[in-house]
Amino acid sequence: MSSASALHRVAFLGDYLPRKCGIATFTTDLRCSVAKAFPEMHCPVVPVDDLAAGYDYPPEVRFEIAEQDLPAYLRAADFLNITDVDAVCVQHEFGIYGGPAGSHLLALLRELQMPIITTLHTVLREPNPDQRRVMRELIRLSTRLVVMTERGVEFLRDIYEVPLAKIDLIAHGIPDMPFSDPNYFKDEFGVVGKQVLLTFGLLSPNKGIEFALRALPEIIRQFPNVVYIVLGQTHPNLLREEGEAYRLNLERLAKDLGVQRHVVFFNRFVELEELMRFIGATDIYLTPYLTEAQITSGTLAYAFGAGNAVVSTPYWHAKELLAGDRGRLVPFRDSAAITAAVVELLRDEQTRHSLRKQAYLQGRDMIWSHVAQLYGRSFEQARLDHSFIGRRSSPIKTLDETPGQLPALKLEHLFRLSDSTGIFQHASFTVPNFSHGYCTDDNARALVLALMLQRLGHNSPQLNAHAATYMAFLNHAFDRERGRFRNFMSFGRDWLEEVGSEDCQGHAIWALGLCVSQAGHGSFQMLAAELFERALPVAADFASPRAWAFTLIGIDEYLRRFGGDRRAGQIREMLTAKLQQRYADAATGEWFWFEESVSYANARLPQAMILNGRSLGNGPMLELGLKTLRWLIGVQTSDAGSFRPVGSNGFYRRGQERAQFDQQPIEAQVTVSACIEAYRATGDSFWVTEAWRAFEWFLGRNDLGLAVYDSTTGGCRDGLHMDRLSQNQGAESTLAFHIALAEMKALQNSLTSFKEPADR
């Protein structure tokens, strides 16, 4: 790119130092290299923060994005559009952006007015449905795509059908350091006279370091002066979830093998200058990764380009970089092969130095100054491509073109209602009411909420701890001899009944099914699967339509994970048939309903029909769900156009006047759920409008014009009376609001990121 380029301001989007991760290091190095190569260019940075407090960034950082905050991505797009940015260079890796498979990023990119150059740090050969959906939209929105290996080019072409003209192959950048004798650096680390093996990078189980450790005893027997340095702190995500368990296991393994005097763990994130001195002191660099599915490795690029002899397993990047006898490839999980390769290179100094020289010379095309020039050409080509395609529409939007503003997540009152046993049923105003104790219904709903929030990316230690408590309550509530859940428990932890209601059982099955379907819970899921399997059979004999509906929702979730479970499938068919028959028996004339009355949690009945009709490919079942939901919405819409749930003070019997009050939050919540399910099934925006209408009931669009949700506490008032709000903020109401909010956030994420419905 010449100094006369029309690009004067290129923004860099991705993780950024001092955040400690490989993408942050790459983005920082790339941005600084481009700024140095093109001093006339301004290079602002927009990083993504995984911590609420953010980071102490350098001055080039102009705008920060909270990882899970979708509106922040849209604000960042506005910022980039109005600050004369000519192009945006995006670093993409699954796991660093919010939303399912990082889909929040798409909402930002869709709003940008300038060319987008996206560096793909991962190109998956077998993406899951969410990853494939994100990848295809990311490809569509990007003006140009940068990959670092030939394998990346092949995957984009063959798997994602990207034209080669849109792809730039630019190697992973590396620092420029002179080719030197390792002995020059060894005295700095106290390893003079020793042969140094090195592995570096953020520590995690996929690095395969245990196989390198198991190779050491024989290496040390032949070369007693060998020392193996493992450099790098534990990956922050792993540290938050499991602490230092993996590192401690490696340390114990080294002691068990008797090699602890030859192993050094440096448990810290090292800056570039110090890292290059470690690499400089290295005789052989080891990357014993466990699987082939790594298309780019920055650590390998650094070590190879600096002139290290490399012994590696044949993951994709290593296989490509070390081709032509530029290193040694060994099979995965094969300590004996690592031993043989290391011993060969330590014994044959001439071969080892030949590999070092080949690597260093090959690496001259990877130094950052050269990489920056290649990125400059990509930026310039993106500008030309973008000019040819034409600019996107104006960033100025009318109100109906912008996503509705949802309240921020505020869980303080939910946590206030929860203790080490479970969640209390009731509150006196905002204070937990101990006298009414606990119930399985509410603990099941609380577990559902926690799982929904985790699916949205909210994984705070406090939320996760409470989720475990709610699961523990369900486990304790279950009577394994009867196959039934008890429901009501006193504050003194005494059960107040032997067998809970059918609805209670249905709520529990729903929560357990959701837990089973949601990946990433390990033993949590095993317990949920056991309880689900034991609790499900009795549901086949239930008489309550709502218990059928709750159970059907749980079965649908469960079958997403274990679709071959015949018994669950048979019970689903039995319960859907019962609901269909119930409708056939009750519906007449203009009464399109399953019962003689419209009572409570009404929208769950059509939701179960819609959900299972869609899953089974049963058109009549789906249409029945849509028909009854549309009728119910008509019943529950006021003359003013607001949501007006049937009141609990009498409900609504056919041929009689409907009760206007007391209006319950649970009705708004289940209507939100059902309308979102209808939208997923049909793509009809009518259902999005109705979901918003029901949700806004919480916020004051109701018969009294008063907010039922209390934004100061994060609680929800228990109901709307004829002349006032209930001032108590109990569990059912608070959970109803937050479940509705979680579902609306998931819907908004999908609509904003993809402009179309997404399955869960």
* Spatial separation of the C-alpha atoms in residues 375 and 582, rounded to whole Å: 65
What Cα–Cα distance (Å) separates residue 529 from each residue in 214, 231, 466, 510, 553?
A: 37, 40, 19, 12, 15
pLDDT interval class at 403 (50, 70, 90) = low
Q: Summarize the confidence of residues 132-142 as an average pLDDT.
A: 96
- Judge whether residue 389 has pLDDT over 70: no
pLDDT at site 315: 95
Residue type, 589: G
Residue 395 predicted with pLDDT over 60: no
Average pLDDT over residues 98-112: 93
Is pLDDT above 50 for 721?
yes
Each domain of the chain, given as residue ranges in start order, spans 10-173+368-401, 183-365, 412-754
β strands within 6-83, DSSP E: 10-14, 45-49, 65-66
pLDDT at 391 (0 to 100): 47
C-alpha to C-alpha distance for 185 and 199, rounded to whole angstroms:
17
Q: What is the pLDDT of residues 263-293, one digit of tens each?
A: 999 988 877 788 888 899 999 999 999 999 8
Reply yes or no on domain 10-173+368-401 having CATH 3.40.50.2000: yes
DSSP assignment string, 100-140: GGGTHHHHHHHH--S-EEEEES---SS--HHHHHHHHHHHH
* Per-residue pLDDT at 255 exceeds 80: yes
pLDDT score of 394 more than 70: no
Mean pLDDT, rounded, of the chain? 93
Complete DSSP assignment for 557-624: HHHHH-TT-HHHHHHHHHHHHHHHHHHHHH-BTTB-SSSSEE-SSTTHHHHHHHHHHHHHT-HHHHHH
d(CA 580, CA 66): 46
Is the pLDDT assigned to residue 623 strictly greater than 90?
A: yes
pLDDT-derived band at 400 (thresholds 50, 70, 90) equals: low
Site of tokens 């209408």: 693
CATH number among 3.40.50.10490, 3.10.129.10, 3.30.70.260, 1.50.10.10, domain 412-754: 1.50.10.10
Both structure tokens of 486? 């008890």
pLDDT at 1 over 70: no
Residue 758 has a pLDDT of 67
- The per-residue pLDDT for 3 is 44
Supply the pTM of this predicted model.
0.82
Domains 10-173+368-401 and 183-365 share a fold: yes
CB 610 within 8 A of CB 759: no
Per-residue pLDDT, 401:
56
Q: What is the pLDDT of residue 460?
A: 86
Q: What is the pLDDT of residue 494?
A: 97
Per-residue confidence (pLDDT) for residue 189, from 0 to 100 = 84
Please give the backbone phi and psi of residue 230, each rounded to the nearest 5 degrees, phi first.
-110, 110
> Which tens digits make up the pLDDT trace of 315-324?
999 999 999 8
What is the DSSP annotation of 245-269?
Answer: HHHHHHHHHHHHTT-GGGEEEE-SP
- Please report the pLDDT score of residue 755 as a whole number: 74
Per-residue model confidence as pLDDT tens digits over 503-549: 999 999 999 999 999 866 677 889 999 999 999 999 999 999 999 99
Q: What counts of helices (H) and strands (E) characterise the chain?
A: 27, 22
Closest CA to 511 of 475, 542, 543: 475
SS3 content of the chain, % helix, strand, coil (to 5): 50, 15, 35
Q: Is the pLDDT score of 402 beyond 70?
A: no
Q: Is 655:700 a contact under the CB 8 Å cutoff?
A: no
Share of the chain above pLDDT 70, in %: 96
pLDDT (average), residues 642-651: 96
Confidence of residue 457 (pLDDT cuts 50, 70, 90): confident
Beta bridge partners of 390: none
Report the distance separating Cα 33 and Cα 372, nearest Å. 6
In tens, the pLDDT along 650-668 reads: 999 999 999 999 999 999 9
State the average pLDDT over residues 204-221.
95
> Which residues have a Cβ under 8 Å from the Cβ of 340 and sit 6 or more positions away?
330
The stretch 112-127 carries a mean pLDDT of 96
* 399 vs 597, residue with greater confidence: 597
Span 161-171, mean pLDDT? Answer: 97
Q: Among 307, 300, 364, 354, which Cα is nearest to 329's?
A: 300
Under the banding of pLDDT at 50, 70 and 90, the label for residue 487 is very high
pLDDT tens for 424-452 read 999 999 999 999 999 999 999 999 999 99
pLDDT category at 21 given cuts 50, 70, 90 is confident
Whether pLDDT at 124 is above 80: yes
Residues above pLDDT 90, as percent of the chain = 82
**Tokens for 333?**
């999980």
Range 183-365 classified under CATH 3.40.50.2000: yes
